[in-house]
Amino acid sequence: MRLVNLVLLLILVGLAFYKFSFNDTELAGSRWACNELSKNFISEPYKKYQEITEKDVLYFASSSNLTIFQTGELVFKNGERHKYEAIIDASYKVKNNKISLKYTNIDWHYKPAKSPVFVQDLDSLKGFETDLNYIINDEQLYFYNRKKHENTNYLCFSL
């Protein structure tokens, strides 16, 4: 009887260790598509835009590396449109439905013309670290901050 109890205890400890040690594999290997539309800018450099569309594909290449393929379009109030495309590399850690991101590289494929502040803002992400909460619900991935501010809520769909 002691042997059976010992084996059951070891199995329970092993399962608990597996769950807490490999929790970050939930995202590893997954791909998600996200869209965002921004309008009504209040900062002076962005007032020239009517809207900014952004489409992202998040690829969690491993349990610690994330690649973001970002494309979008800047629509100026005068009707001009400038497309942009960048690849953003980040490292990440997951613990208890919290993801910690550190942006490591920004590689532009298309830089938008006449938008140096926008380019500078995206480039400034390099080295930036942030923490977000996340929930996976079926085929949807929700990101939100701890204070649940609306401006950081982000919804993605599984690919």
CA distance 110 to 102: 23
Provide the whole-model pTM: 0.80
Q: For the residues of 42-72, what is the DSSP string, one character each?
A: -SGGGTTEEEEEEEEEEEE-SSSEEEEEEEE
53-110 pLDDT tens trace: 999 999 999 999 999 999 999 999 999 999 999 999 999 999 888 999 999 999 999 9
